[in-house]
Amino acid sequence: MTITGKTRVAGVMGWPVAHSRSPALHGYWLRRYAIDGAYIPLPVKPENLSAALRALPLLGFAGVNLTAPHKESALAIVDRADAQARRIGAANTVTVEADGTLSAINTDGFGFIENLRATIPAWKGGAGPAVVIGAGGAARAVVAALFDAGVAEVRLVNRTEARAGALAEALSGAVRVVPWSARAEALSGAALLVNATTLGQEGNPPLDLDLEPLPKTAIVYDIVYTPLETPLLRRAKASGHPTVDGLGMLLHQARPGFRVWFGKGTLDPEVTAGLRAEVAGGGAG
């Protein structure tokens, strides 16, 4: 990579951020499309987020992605956020506009649905109820995306039932909160199961869930991608379920930011097998 006086610069802000796969992801596209650009990790402590975001126009940045713990805090700092980011309560993509103001969007739901459709092209929102495990920021994006895609009923399961109730109240749509103790029963008649927690991620315990009540035609989607095949996906495959891993969600959610920062708003970068292989060898986030 050669840096010139015309290089477009973007990055990812997080704390910590060295583990992020986003530089490998955007770096792959920059090379593939021969774009004069650079994408760098930006370690920013939470107490410095406002100053760091406000410095972007002064430093000539095109924008940044946001990863933990900055996605929610950024909404109070940027000049504007789209309806989806406000609805979800978090932003993951910030663009520096021509006048130096900051615009934020949330592309996690977009990445979730695009990955699902790319992996299981026959999937339709009207196929039946979806069961979502978790009630954090990722789950909020997933539930919102499912409703937007035409899913009529979401059964939301979380170890802390009150948090699931707060999510259900915040998002319009038919969300039915299911107690953790009844999580297996919630699978009956479902067309899609989504693990939107970090259970099953490297270093964390696996998701404790009996898949027996889940119809064999139901899709099992785990947003965790380290490892690519989580214990949940391994068990689902062994039972004959179609499965979707979480890496594609990361790849697809990056497309809107790249298009604006480096593609002049017109180039929509492709998610290919080569990109998956490149990014699969890195860290997380």
What distance in Å separates the CA atoms of residue 10 and residue 39, rounded to the nearest whole number? 5
Amino acid present at 283: G
List the one residue out of 64, 61, 30 whose CA is nearest residue 49: 64
Q: Which residues sit opposite 9 in a β-bridge?
A: 38, 61
Catalytic residue chosen out of the listed positions 71, 124, 237, 264: 71
| Nearest Cα to Cα of residue 176 among 200, 136, 147, 215 | 147
Active site residue 216: no
Helix 161-170 × helix 137-148 angle, to 10°? 40
The string of DSSP letters for 213-274 reads TS-TT-EEEE---SSSS-HHHHHHHHTT--EE-SHHHHHHHTHHHHHHHTSTTT------HH
Residues with catalytic function: 71
